[in-house]
Amino acid sequence: MTLKIHSGGCHCGAVRFEAEIDIAQGTVKCNCSSCAKARSWLALVPGSRYRLTSGAESQANYQWTPPGRPGPTIEFHFCKICGIRTPGRGNMEAMGGVFYAVQVPLLSEIDREELAAAPIQYVDGLHDRFDREPADRRFL
């Protein structure tokens, strides 16, 4: 595994972060209702490898409880100024505890060839089956 520190932020720059990511390990696209609407393309990062460097006061959050769950599984964040979704924070035992869902397009200086070569994992979050691909991934 080759971790690199990637910096990133929202469109207006009010929210900035750093995340240690190995892009070669792949990225994720999910078909849950939230990810599908936002066309999310994610790098999942353990909480210990994510740092918000500025803009905590510029973020708002949104929590949604999926049907059949006792509570929210992820806290979505977005910039109050430009409206761009910033990394969301989740806490799921299956994910190793606290993690951040970093939107790949937020990363400032990513090697486009490295990103193009990285595998994409498609997950069926719509049906709470994160261990398999959705039947239709054409719109992810």
- Mean pLDDT value of segment 71-86: 93
AA identity, residue 91: N
Tokens standing for residue 24: 């070669």
Residue 17 in any domain: the answer is yes
pTM for the complete prediction?
0.90
- Evaluate if residue 15 carries a pLDDT over 90: yes
Residue 137 in any domain: the answer is no
Residues spanned by the domain of 27: 4-127
AA identity, residue 42: L
- Evaluate if residue 109 carries a pLDDT over 90: no
Residue 107 in any domain: the answer is yes
CATH number for position 73:
2.170.150.70
- Evaluate if residue 80 carries a pLDDT over 90: yes
Taking only the tens place, the pLDDT of each residue in 110-121 is 999 999 999 999
| Cβ contacts of 11 within 8 Å, gap of 6 or more | 79, 82, 83, 84
Taking only the tens place, the pLDDT of each residue in 63-77 is 988 778 888 888 999
User: Whole-number mean pLDDT of the chain?
Assistant: 93
pLDDT at 73: 80
Nearest of 104, 94, 96, 90 to residue 25 by alpha carbon: 104
Residue 46 in any domain: the answer is yes
Residue 63 in any domain: the answer is yes
Torsion of CA 19, 20, 26, 28, to 10 degrees: -30
Identify any residues that bridge with 107 across adjacent strands, giving them in sequence order: 8
Tokens standing for residue 74: 């992820």
Residue 135 in any domain: the answer is no
Residue 56 in any domain: the answer is yes
Number of domains in the chain: 1
Residue 136 in any domain: the answer is no
